[in-house]
Amino acid sequence: MDYDVIVIGGGSGGYAAADTAQLAGAKVAIVDPGPLGGLCILRGCMPTKTILRSSDIMALMQRAGEFGLSATGIQADLAAIIDRKHKLIREFADYRIGQLKNPRFTLIEDKAAFVSPHEIEAGGKRLSAKSFIIATGSVIKKIPVPGLEETGYLTSDDVLELKEQPESMIVLGAGPVAVELAQFYQRIGTQVTLIQRSQYILSFTDEDLARPVEARLQEEGMTVYTGTQLQQVSSDGKTKTVRFMHIGEEKTVSAMCILDALGRRPNTDGLNLDVAGVEMGEWGIGVDCAMQTSQRHIFAVGDVNGLHEVVHIAIQQGEIAGWNAAHPDQTPREVDERLTTNVVFTDPQVASVGLTEKDCGKKKIEYLAASYPFDDHGKSLCLGETHGHVKLLCDPKSGEILGGHITGPEAGELIHQLIAIMYYKGTVKDLLTMPHYHPTLSEILTYPAEELTGKIK
């Protein structure tokens, strides 16, 4: 065998897998055609969060009067926002490229394709390995909406390069990427219309957690249609028009451009999975909790298995697969699904760890729930950030926290308190009794914890 482990794809999941396997003593090659850096750094988490900082500051400046300040002539310069993003992303990407080019790995800058269950072809050679870790990520999914392809649309990749601000935009979809980018454009002064099929935006979570975001988007001037069915997209050369059904009525909306943010799909193109004997699952390449595919020596991590399109999970899965690939004779390590976390970087942010009420309903898990609103919390009132609420779910007998959900200011930071407690299988009583500094946003979590502690049998 040429290598102990060949990692196919050098994004966040692939790099974590290669790093872990090499540190465990394995001889590792990474295959990636580039551009090197991975989705999170080049076109995902980091560029979007960089530009959102500009629109968040702009929204705050527009509220200056509320805080006894004056700010006039507030204007966004999209070209300058994108230039700031380019500079930061170049730095992040260069760092990752340096890691991939470290001589402790062999980096092959090409696409990989299986030619047998133990061999791939890459860089003009046949390469064999004891184990493979597939980490080829995801690509934008093409949804067959009549007229969309002919009319033309932007993707999340395109808008991250756009330097000329459109006057108006139609956003198709209402998942995290769609809603974050829609709010960015609305806040910098583009008139945005968001069109979504589900009954509420961010439909992966409980409805009560998504509604405050929808309300905020509407307050900021965005038009939001939920529960729609897309019919036809067309263009008159100048503007683009979307026709759709909404509450039994036909509607049309026109704008300068369309952002298609209807989702991504696992990238298995050209891998020849059938030759390797690797089977697809419900969402992407089928894997178990040890990240093993239908071929036990082939693992699949990150977006390509379609379980969660979230980067820290791609990294965790990569670490688990890297360790398991380097220790084929030991009991495999497994992912702890209890702590699955999501954050949406809208304002208010939406952050969740563990089970939602929807999950409990589906899985028939008994739970107690309690919520508390930010508009009744001292620190939130001081900050003027009163949208949303926190919600805790716990086991009705032991009080162990099963899920924690926050829609509100700094939710993406606050959720880590709940992750830490859940990591140690803590209870609502633990959360209530541990000290919380006053006045902080964090102490809001003690209110539902107190209510639930009183209800434990």
Q: Site residues (CB under 6 A) for ligand FAD?
A: 8-14, 31-33, 38-40, 43-45, 48-49, 111-112, 135-137, 156, 177, 267, 270-271, 302-304, 309-312, 314, 345
Q: Per residue, what are the HEC states of the chain?
A: CCEEEEEECCCHHHHHHHHHHHHCCCCEEEECCCCCCHHHHHCCHHHHHHHHHHHHHHHHHHCHHHHCCCCCCCCCCHHHHHHHHHHHHHHHHHHHHHHHCCCCCEEECCCCEEEECCEEEECCEEEEEEEEEECCCEEECCCCCCCHHHHCCECHHHHCCCCCCCCEEEEECCCHHHHHHHHHHHHCCCEEEEECCCCCCCCCCCHHHHHHHHHHHHHCCCEEECCEEEEEEEECCCCEEEEEEECCEEEEEEECEEEECCCEEECCCCCCHHHHCCCECCCCECCCCCCECCCCCEEECHHHHCCCCCHHHHHHHHHHHHHHHHCCCCCCCCCCHHHCEEEECCCCEEEEEECCHHHHHHHCCCCEEEEEEHHHCHHHHHHCCCCCEEEEEECCCCCEEEEEEEEECCHHHHHHHHHHHHHCCCEHHHHHHCCCCCCCCHHHHHHHHHHHHHHCC
Shortest Å, Cβ 69 to ligand FAD: 30
CA dihedral 141, 144, 150, 156 (to 10 degrees): -30
Shortest Å, Cβ 137 to ligand FAD: 3
Which among 78, 309, 52 is positioned nearest to 179, based on CA atoms? 52
Nearer to ligand FAD, 310 or 355 (CB): 310
Residue 187 near residue 59, CB atoms below 8 Å: yes
Shortest Å, Cβ 371 to ligand FAD: 25
Shortest Å, Cβ 344 to ligand FAD: 8
Residue 255 near residue 240, CB atoms below 8 Å: yes
Q: How far is CA 165 from CA 190, 257, 384, in A?
A: 7, 10, 29
Nearer to ligand FAD, 303 or 385 (CB): 303
Shortest Å, Cβ 411 to ligand FAD: 13
Shortest Å, Cβ 285 to ligand FAD: 11
Residue 453 near residue 370, CB atoms below 8 Å: no
Nearer to ligand FAD, 3 or 372 (CB): 3
Shortest Å, Cβ 129 to ligand FAD: 14
Nearer to ligand FAD, 410 or 450 (CB): 410
Nearer to ligand FAD, 309 or 357 (CB): 309
Nearer to ligand FAD, 170 or 177 (CB): 177
The neighbour count for residue 104, using CB atoms within 10 Å, is: 11
In the set 118, 312, 327, 438, the catalytic residue is 438
Shortest Å, Cβ 230 to ligand FAD: 21
Nearer to ligand FAD, 45 or 360 (CB): 45
Nearer to ligand FAD, 12 or 356 (CB): 12
Q: Active site includes 438? A: yes
Q: Where in the sequence numbering do the catalytic residues fall? A: 438
